[in-house]
Chains A and B, each alone.
Chain A
Amino acid sequence: MSPKTDKIDEFSKELELKIERGVIGWVNNDQWFNWLRNTAARWVLAVLTLAVLYGFGLFAWINEGVYGYLYPVTIFVVVVLQKLSVRFVFDDDSVIDEYQHERRNRAYRRAYKRIGLAVSLVVVLLLARSADLRHISFSAQSAFWPLPNGTFSAQFSVEQLVIGLEFLIGLFALQKYLSWGMRGERN
């Protein structure tokens, strides 16, 4: 790459960063958004997040069609509302102070624990579902591998797979906001 291209790249990156920080700074400091930040709003947002992620997700999974396209849009809207509610603490280290930093780290710890628990639960359920525990037998051959072989068969449409993927992305994206807690800001 030529030095000229490098300069243009550098300039566009700086401009992008400036615009991003400018927008985040404006939204963070504008009191108009405070209605999203009190405890009542945090509760409403948590219910809305769960309803969209699980409720609408299941609905879209069953009905497919246009709901499959609406699902990521609704997740996106909820993510934006959550970002506004917590003042973008998960997006930019430079705009948060030590209180927000500490609370953010606690939210990350909780989120990882919850996701770990959920993944473990799903794996155990799948194993339990796939292994026919009534017919476990140990033979000389299987003595070295005493766990039964699990089989799990399922048939999903492409749309359902996409919705499943969207659900996973939403689950990971929103978990930290749910773990942030219900205590909102007070004046």
Chain B
Amino acid sequence: MSRKPRQEEERVANRIELLRTQAGLSRQELADQVGVHYQTIGYLERGEYSPSLVLALKIAAALGATVDEVFSLDKGE
């Protein structure tokens, strides 16, 4: 099976910003909790970067949600 070109790959949609705001956390606070830079949280929220499974699990735990409540496949439909 051949790999799809990058622009055709399914992207990961997320609700990090919504859940983070609901939890009353700033980007910096969430970043500190999951061990990444605050800019990376920005890239994640804007959908410019798809996290590793480990980071996705850490983010979900920090936001008090399950991974599938935070992340979903965005097939660009």
Interface residues of A (CB under 8 A from B): 87, 96-100, 102, 185-187
Q: Tell whether B39 is near chain A: CB-to-CB under 8 Å.
A: yes
Q: List the B residue with the shortest CB-CB distance to A87.
A: B37
Q: What chain A residues lie within 8 Å of B49 (beta carbons)?
A: 99, 102
Are A100 and B42 interface neighbours, CB within 8 A? Answer: no
Q: List the A residue with the shortest CB-CB distance to B46.
A: A186
8 interchain residue pairs of minimum CB distance: A97-B36, A99-B40, A185-B39, A99-B49, A97-B37, A97-B40, A98-B52, A99-B43
Rounded to whole angstroms, the CA-CA distance of A87 and B38 in the bound complex is 13
Rounded to whole angstroms, the CA-CA distance of A99 and B40 in the bound complex is 6
Q: Tell whether B55 is near chain A: CB-to-CB under 8 Å.
A: yes
User: Which one, A87, A98, A186, contacts B36 given CB within 8 A?
Assistant: A98
**Which of B37, B40, B44 is most buried by chain A, counting CB atoms within 10 A of its CB?**
B37
Rounded to whole angstroms, the CA-CA distance of A98 and B37 in the bound complex is 9
Q: What chain A residues lie within 8 Å of B55 (beta carbons)?
A: 98
Some 20 contacts from A to B, beta carbons below 8 A apart, are A87-B37, A96-B37, A97-B36, A97-B37, A97-B40, A98-B36, A98-B40, A98-B51, A98-B55, A99-B36, A99-B40, A99-B43, A99-B44, A99-B49, A100-B37, A100-B40, A102-B49, A185-B39, A185-B42, A187-B42
